[in-house]
A and B are shown apart, each in its own frame.
Chain A
């Protein structure tokens, strides 16, 4: 069964460093998403991506964040200068149609020291 994969599973970084979180969505999906979940809190929408551009983004997704689909398979989230409060689980998701279910990856735990 196809699945969304994410790497790395755990990333530890120093405050101010850049991080790139990677996702491989399901191959025939067209809509891609990033979410984050701070420990013990709810899942928060960050950004959606379709047709090689951002469709929607939340207030969390400021200038420090960017997304890219550099090739036909990867979907990345870059945080330019990490802050302590960026520590969270980051989930990637994809869906085949705009109003269909989203399939989530296992997440990347980001720890900013």
Chain B
């Protein structure tokens, strides 16, 4: 089964606008993480939200988690051209932290 599927697959917005990306998963989780990847580069950890948390903030990032719907969203406020990247959610699945499953990602393009 697929775990951590994001939508939309691609998103193009103007600088200053907000960007919202969604992630759905199938199995129970202990935590869900969001990562960012610039083209061809490594992954940068953005934020981790635990299953008993509903919302978390970090700078311009806001993450929500709805375990009843098995979904999460990542909101980037006041986007900048430098936010252009791919964003992935990752879950630890039913095995706990030993196996992390990534979604297909959302490619965000912020136009200056």
Contacts and interface: CB of A to CB of B under 8 A. Distances in A.
- The finding on whether chains A and B are genuine partners in a shared complex, rather than unrelated, reads yes
A86 B74 CA distance: 32
B104 A42 contact: yes
Contact of A45 (B50, B88, B102): B102
B43 interface: yes
Interface in B34-74: 35, 40-45, 48, 50
Interface size of A as a range: 20 to 34
Interface stretch (B13-21, B75-83, B93-101): B93-101
A106 B99 contact: no
B48 A100 contact: yes
Nearest to A42: B104
A75 interface: no
Interface of chain A, main secondary structure: strand
Which of under 10, 10 to 19, 20 to 34, or 35 or more describes the interface residues of B?
Answer: 20 to 34
Interface string B5-35: 0000000000000000000000000110101
Interface string A95-106: 101111111111
Contacts of A99: 30-31, 50, 92, 96-97
Interface in B98-112: 98-105
B85 to A, nearest CB: 14
Contacts of A105: 42
Given A102-B45, A105-B42, A45 B101 contact: yes
B74 to A, nearest CB: 15
Given A33-B100, A89-B40, A105-B42, 11 more contacts: A31-B98, A42-B88, A42-B102, A43-B90, A45-B102, A48-B99, A56-B99, A91-B42, A99-B30, A99-B31, A104-B42
20 contacts: A31-B97, A31-B98, A33-B100, A35-B102, A42-B104, A43-B43, A45-B102, A48-B98, A55-B98, A56-B98, A58-B99, A91-B43, A99-B92, A100-B48, A101-B45, A102-B33, A103-B45, A104-B43, A104-B44, A104-B45
